[in-house]
Amino acid sequence: MPAKDFYHDAVKIALQKDGWQITADPLVLRAGLMTLYVDLGAEKLLIPCCTS
């Protein structure tokens, strides 16, 4: 697994303050024999859903 860079924690905190939810740190993607490591997996609800 690759090392986190200098900005990793600052970016993570900034995303959380902006309402993003961190879903994976790091995000690991596997396809066949290949494995990719992405810094963060994050999601944010952009369109509010209807509640009745």
Kindly give the confidence (pLDDT) of every residue in the chain, 52 residues in length, as a single tens digit, with 9 standing for 90 and above: 677 888 999 999 999 999 999 999 888 999 999 998 888 899 998 777 776 6
pLDDT at res. 14: 95
Task: Write b or e for each residue in 14-37: b if 16 or more Cβ atoms lie within 10 A of its Cβ, otherwise e.
Answer: eeeeeeeeeeeeeeeeeeeeeeee
pLDDT at res. 52: 60
Q: Considering the entire predicted model, what is its pTM?
A: 0.70
